[in-house]
Amino acid sequence: MRVNIRIGGMSCAGCALRIEEALRQIGGVKEANVNFATAKATIEYDPEEIGLKDIENVIKEAGYQVLNDKIQVKVGGMTCAMCAKTIESALGQLEGIIDATVNLGAETAYIEYNKDLISIDDIRKVIEGLGYQFLGTMGEVVDEKILGDLKSKKKRIIVGLGVSIPLMIIMYSRIEFPFMNYIFFLVSILPFLYVSYPIFNAAIRSLKAKTLNMDVMYSMGIGVAFTSSVLSTFNILSQDFMFYETALMLAAFLTLGRYLEARAKGKTSEAIKKLMELQPDTATILKDDKEMEVPVETLKRGDILLVKTGDRIPVDGIIIEGQAHIDESMVTGEPIPVFKDKGKSVVAGTINTDGVMKIRTTHTGEETFLARIIRLVEEAQGSKPPLQRIADRAVSYFIPTVLIIAFTAFIFWYLKGMGLLFSLTILISTLVVACPCALGLATPTAVTVGIGRGAELGILIKKGETLEVSERISTVLFDKTGTLTEGEPYITDVVPLKGDENDVIGLAASIEANSRHPIARAIVSRAEDIPSIKVHELKSIPGKGLIGFTNSQRILVGNISLFKDNRIPLDHIKDMISKLQGEGKTIVLVGMDQEPVGIIAVSDKIKENSPRAMKALGEMGLETVMVTGDNPITAKIVAEKLGIGRVLSQVLPEDKVNIVAKMREKGGVAFVGDGINDAPALAAADVGIAIGSGTDIAMEAADIVLVKDDPVDVPAAMQLARKVVSRVKWNIFWAFAYNMVLIPVAAGLFYPIFRLTFRPELAGLAMALSSVTVVSLSLLLRSYIPPVKKGN
C-alpha cells in the first residue's frame, strides 16, 4: 500500500533524510521518500506487517509533526455509552483513521484521518452503516435535524402518556366492562408501536453490529411487558399479566428521559455556540474612499475596514485611524471595555462601544484569533481524560452483568415459588432501571461544559487530560519578564565610565538594534535621536548579551557573565553595580575592547495582579518558583515584592527545560511563560501555561493558554481544572451509586425484609432521571467563577 503523509517541523533537507532513514529501518516499510520542498512523505508499506499509526509514531518520535486532517461530525441516534463505543471501535478499524473519539454528551465524533486513504463519505457510510445518523460536519446546518428529533420525541411522549395514564386509571379503579381486554389491546397497540419504535430500531441496529447497548435491554423489558399483555388478552396467560399501561408508560418514560437528556446535552456546548455567533456576517470595506458592505468571507489581508460605534469587529486587524473603547468580554472574560487607538491590535468578535475606527486586516477566516479559540475548545472537548477511559471500560462490562443479574433474579424468584407474574415484574424492572448512560455522560458533559466555561473566562484548556494532570501539580514555575512583569523595561540610570551618556547609549543601541529582546527595545528607543555606529559580524551569546565589531573595535553589550567570560575587569565598578542591583534594577554593561565604558540600569514594572496571583497559588498549597536570566540580587528583590519564596536566577534559556525535568522528579510541575525561548519548557512541563499576549510558538507548545495578559488567570485556571475534575468524580460517584442502589432493589434483594420492589414504570422514570441528574450537575459549571476572580 502507498500513502502520502504531510509532515511539519522540517527545517532543512537533512530533516527529510533523517525521516527517510528512520522509516526505512522499520519492518513492513518497503520504500520511503520525503520531499522537503512539499513537506510530504510518500511511503510504500505492507499493511499486514505494519499499520499507518505505527508509521506516524516513528515520524513523531523523530521530533516531527504529522499533519493529518481533522473533522468533527455530529452523530444522531446515540442512546447510551455503548453507542459511542461502537462508533469509536468501527471508525478505529478503518485504514486511514488515525484517531476517533466520540463525545456522547456533545453527540459529536472527533476524527483525525489521512485524506489520501479515506474520505468523509467513507466515514459517513460507516456511521450510517451502524444505523446512526450522520448529521453533518461542524459548520454544516444540522440544527434542523436535531430540532426535528426533539419534536419527534416530544410527540411520542405525549402519545405514550396520553394513552397510558387513562388506561392506568381504569386498571387501578377496578373498572370492568365487556371485551375490556380486547379494547385495551386495540387502543394501545398502535401508540405502543409508535412510541417504542425508536427503541426497538436501535436495539436491532445494535445486534446487527454485534454489540449490546441499553436499547437491547429496554426492548427486552417493554417487549416482555407488552407480549405478556397480548398473551393475557387471548387467554394464554391469566388476567394478572395485563401490562398494557405499564408497557406503554415505560416506553414513554424512556423517551422522556432521552428527551430531557438531549435538551440538557444541547446546553453543554453553548459556550462554543456563543463564540461562533460572535463572527459577524458582513463588514464595511473602504475602497476609493467609498463604503461597501461585503460578506466577511470575501475579506483578505490588507483590506481597510470601517468599524462604527456598536459594530462587531469582523476580523483581526490593526487600528490605522481613530480610537474607541473595545468590549472584549466575550473573548477575554474581562467586563470593562479596553481603550485602543492607532497602532493597537483588535480581534474578531469584539465590539466597538464608542468612536469610529479604520482598521487594516491582518487575519481572516480560520486564521483569526476567535477562530483559533473555537478550534482549540472544540479539540479539547473531543479529548478523553484518563477518568473517562476508566468509565468506558466499566461500561463494556455493565450490560452483560445486568443481563445476568436480571435473568438470575427472574429464575431465583420463580423457583422460590413467587410465581411468574412477580418474577416477570422483577425481570422487567431490573432490565429497565439499569443505566450505564449516566456513567457514559459523567465525564464528557463535565469536560465539555468546563472547557467551554474556561473559554468564556479567557482560559483556553487545550486537552481534557490537562484537567486531570492539573490536580496533581505541586510546583508552579514562572518566567519573569513578560509573565510576572510588564515586559516593557525602561532605562532608569545611565552611568558613563568614558565619554557621556549619549556615547554609552549610542554604542549600546548600535549593537542592540538587531535584537528583539525587551531590554534592547528600551535602549534603542532611548537612542532615537543619537547617531548610530555601523556594526558588522554581530554575535549573539544566549542569556548573556551581544558582541559586535566596528572597523577597528569590538563592542560588548550584556550582563556581568558576558564580561567575565571575556575577562574584562569589573572590580573598580563593583560597588556601583551592587548599588543599582540593590535597588532591584537589571544591569546592562557596555564595553569596548577590554574595558567597560558604561553601565545602563533597567527596570521592569511588576504587573498589578502578580502578587495576588502568587498569594492565591500559595493558598492552594502550591509552591511558586521564579525562573529568570537576571542576576541573583535583582531577581531576589523582585521575588520578595511578589511573595515568591524560591528564585532561580541567571538561568539560560536552554537550562529551563533541565530545571523542569529535575523538578518533575519530585512532583507535578506547571511552567508559565510567554516567549519563544519558553516553548521547550512549556512542552516539557506536566502543564504548560502560556500568557495570551505571548508568541504563537509558546501558545502552540502550551496546554493552557491565557487569553488575557493577567497572572491571576494562572490560579484561576488551576481552580477551574480542579473544579471540573471534582465534578467528574461526583458524576461518576452518583452514576455508580444510582446503579448499586436501584439494581438490587429492582432485583428484589430487599423484598424478603422490607417487601420492597420496583414497579416497571417507576423503574423507567428513575432511569430517565439518572442521566438527566448527571448532565444537570455538569451544567452547574456554566456559572462557575474561580474564587481568585471573584474579587475582580
Phi-psi region of 133 (alpha: psi -120 to 50; beta: other; left: phi over 0): beta
Q: Which three cell numbers stand for residue 119?
A: 474520505
Query: Where are the alpha helices (H) located in 434-500, listed in sequence order?
Result: 437-456, 464-470
What contacts 460, CB < 8 A, 6 or more positions away? 373, 376, 377, 380, 454, 704, 705, 706, 707
**Is 433 within 8 Å of 746 (Cβ atoms)?**
yes
**Is 499 within 8 Å of 756 (Cβ atoms)?**
no
**Is 523 within 8 Å of 508 (Cβ atoms)?**
yes
H/E run at residue 44: strand 40-45
* 549 three-class SS: strand
Nearest-5° angle of CA 295, CA 274, CA 255? 120
How far is it, in rounded angstroms, from Cα 263 to Cα 259? 6
DSSP string, 150-218: HHHHHHHHHHHHHHHHHHHHHHHTT---TTHHHHHHHHHHHHHHHHHHHHHHHHHHHHHTT---HHHHH
What contacts 466, CB < 8 A, 6 or more positions away? 380, 687, 703, 704, 721
**C-alpha dihedral sign at 354, 357, 363, 366:** positive
User: CA-CA distances (angstroms) from residue 251 to 402, 436, 764, 768, 782?
Assistant: 19, 18, 8, 11, 32
User: Cα torsion for 702, 707, 708, 710, to the nearest 10°?
Assistant: -30
Other C-beta atoms lying within 10 Å of the C-beta of residue 31: 12
What contacts 161, CB < 8 A, 6 or more positions away? 249, 252
Q: Which three cell numbers stand for residue 100?
A: 476517533
What contacts 761, CB < 8 A, 6 or more positions away? 245, 246, 249, 250, 253
Q: Which three cell numbers stand for residue 473?
A: 501539580
How far is it, in rounded angstroms, from Cα 353 to Cα 337? 8
Other C-beta atoms lying within 10 Å of the C-beta of residue 281: 10
Q: Which of 149, 479, 686, 703 is catalytic?
A: 479
User: CA-CA distances (angstroms) from residue 104 to 139, 446, 649, 769?
Assistant: 19, 12, 48, 17
Q: Which three cell numbers stand for residue 302?
A: 490588507
**Is 355 within 8 Å of 322 (Cβ atoms)?**
yes
Nearest-5° angle of CA 319, CA 325, CA 331? 85
How far is it, in rounded angstroms, from Cα 22 to Cα 20? 6
How far is it, in rounded angstroms, from Cα 467 to Cα 483? 22
Tell me, yes or no, if 46 is annotated catalytic.
no
φ and ψ of 665, to 5 deg: -65, -20
Residues classed as catalytic:
479
